Every structure is written in structure tokens, then in C-alpha cells.
Amino acid sequence: MSWTDERIDHLKQMWERGMTASQIAEELGGVSRNAVIGKAHRLGLQARPSPVKAADAAARPAAAAQARKAPPPPKPEPSVSASEEPRTARPQPKPAVPVEAKPAPAPQPAPPAPAAGADAPPPPPQPRIVSVGPGGFLRQGPGEMQQPIPPAPPRRLVPAKPSPEIAGKTSLLDLNEKICKWPLGHPGEPDFHFCGEKVNPGFPYCVEHCGRAYQAQLPRGTRRPPPPLPYGGPRVR
């Protein structure tokens, strides 16, 4: 609903009479309380204090006056402690009477220990705790540890005597860069040895064994064909 001149005049009259915004909105109809307050603010009407704050301000002086009229609370009586009691009530301590010191008794000798003889009972056996380590071996206790065994002295290597089969022949231990290394015999035989002759310069064998070890290849046309392979093998062209 729009604000007409009549409604504005009616609003000003009710506002001057001291009616609240809710009462004015109810009287006008079609407007809310906030709309009435906003219109009054735009019209520049005199603002009024809040009724809640006015009631609090009126109640404060009444409460202060009532507090001034109330009698002060009674003061608590001071309690009399034990230290403030009259001294006459305390019993006077009696003077200490000196007591004569008595001599200390002489220490008595300890009874003699029974002699270790046949009549003395043997001590009970102490249980022995054994710890089993990984693998099932028994670990030694602190009292069972033995001193480390000193290492054996180094043995003196003595060369073995050559067998009578290779006496005076070149063995494996006699080889060097100046003698022929051509093997003679089978390694499993007792008379197995090496040539031992002077080497051909630049070769590991002597002149005779170099002729056996190094042979010139025949021309390709004079070579013999390889033997035929067994059945199922590739064909030789």
C-alpha cells in the first residue's frame, strides 16, 4: 500500500502521541513495523528511546536505592587460634632430669662354625642353566668359557722327493720360459713329464715339436672332403 498524505499525517499524529511502531502499523493496516520505522526516519521524526532500555534505566536507580537502605551484613567474629590463647592455660614443662649413661654391654663372641667333617650335610646341588643356541649347540656360561687355543706354528714346506719313474726328467715344477713344454705321456701315468729341450725363439716348444704343432695347410683344391655325416644330417655340397 502506498503512503498517501492522509496516512502520513495520521502516522505523524500517532508518533507524537507516543504510540509504538507496532501499534501504528496495526492502526494503519497494510504496513509492517519496519516500514513504519523507516518512513518515520525518512520524514525526520524525533527518535524515541527503546522501551526495554528505558525500563532498565528506571530499574537501576530503584535497585541502587534499595541497596543503600539495606543494613550492612554482620561482620564475622575473629576466631581465637591456639597460639593466641592466654599463657596461663598452657601447662608449664617440667625441667629435664639428667639420666646417667649406662655402659654398653660387651660384644659376645660368635659361636664357632661347625667343622667340615663327615657329619656335616653336603650343600644342595645348584641347578645348571644351559642356553641352547641356533642349530642345537649348547652355549657356554661365563664360568665355563675357556681360553682361546693358540694357533699352531706354521709348518715348513719340504719339497717332495720325485718318484723314480721321473727322476732326471722335466716335471711341472721345472717349467720356465726357456725349455720346451711339450707333454710326453698321459697325465695319469707315473712317468708323465715334459720335453725340457731348449725352445725355438718365439715359440713355447723346441724345433722338433714346433714342426708337429705348427703345420702348413694344403691348397684348397688338394684337401680331402670331410667324411659323410650320419643319416639325417645336412648334405655336403
Task: Specify the pLDDT at position 158.
Answer: 66
Task: Specify the pLDDT at position 182.
Answer: 94
CA distance 179 to 184: 14
Q: pLDDT for 123-176, tens place per residue?
A: 887 776 667 777 676 776 766 767 778 888 888 776 667 777 778 888 888 899
Task: Specify the pLDDT at position 209.
Answer: 93
CA distance 194 to 180: 7
Average pLDDT, the chain: 75
How far is Cα of residue 152 from the mean position of the Cα atoms in its chain? 47
Q: pLDDT for 175-210, tens place per residue?
A: 999 999 999 988 888 889 999 999 999 999 999 999
Specify the pTM.
0.28
Confidence class for position 45, pLDDT limits 50, 70, 90: confident
Confidence class for position 225, pLDDT limits 50, 70, 90: confident
Q: pLDDT for 63-106, tens place per residue?
A: 667 767 656 666 655 554 444 444 555 656 665 555 555 666 66
Task: Specify the pLDDT at position 110.
Answer: 62
Task: Specify the pLDDT at position 82.
Answer: 46
